[in-house]
């Protein structure tokens, strides 16, 4: 699995600011709806349900909200770079500005876990995150995220 398989160019966006974590979830859902024709209300509901189990802010300004959705047949992702970080209840209590959200089929098995591992491993790279933060252009962000990292592929 690669970022190229997970993330289409239309699923990458720069957002000036989100007023709250919940607003960010709505921004993610709107992007998922426009990029993949997913139901925004269903996406928000699934993301918030998953967050109720424990925050998906993994630290260092990165969040990986994810959910399983009925009607999907493969794992999909959306990426948002926030120009102004938002409080996210992250493990390190730092606000987030790099957000990659994954959506998997309701009955997804190992593919969902492989995608989550790939995203987590990739966004743990501080140099990559700094590069993302320094390039607030959706097309450039997509190019950075999808460049060949075959040595890291799941």
Distance CA 84, CA 113 (A): 30
Distance CA 7, CA 143 (A): 10
Distance CA 46, CA 74 (A): 16
Q: Are 50 and 21 in contact (CB under 8 A)?
A: no
Distance CA 106, CA 72 (A): 7
Active site includes 66?
yes
Pair of tokens at residue 34: 């426009």
Pair of tokens at residue 142: 């997509």
**Annotated catalytic residue, options 26, 60, 66, 112:** 66
Strand ranges in the chain using DSSP code E only, listed in sequence order: 12-17, 57-59, 62-63, 66-69, 76-86, 96-105
Question: Which positions are annotated as active-site residues?
Answer: 66
């Amino acid at each position: 699995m690669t970022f190229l398989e997970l993330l289409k160019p239309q699923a990458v966006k720069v957002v000036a600011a989100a007023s709250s974590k919940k607003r960010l979830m709505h921004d993610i859902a709107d992007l998922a709806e426009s990029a993949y024709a997913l139901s925004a209300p269903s996406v928000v509901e699934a993301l918030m349900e998953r967050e109720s189990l424990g925050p998906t802010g993994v630290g260092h300004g990165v969040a990986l909200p994810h959910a399983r959705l009925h009607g999907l047949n493969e794992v999909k992702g959306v990426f948002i770079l926030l120009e102004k970080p938002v409080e996210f209840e992250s493990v390190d209590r730092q606000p987030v500005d790099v957000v990659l959200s994954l959506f998997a089929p309701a009955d997804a098995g190992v593919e969902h876990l492989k995608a989550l591992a790939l995203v987590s491993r990739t966004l743990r790279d501080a140099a990559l995150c700094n590069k993302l933060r320094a390039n607030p252009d959706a097309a450039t962000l997509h190019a950075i995220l999808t460049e060949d990292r075959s040595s890291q592929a799941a």
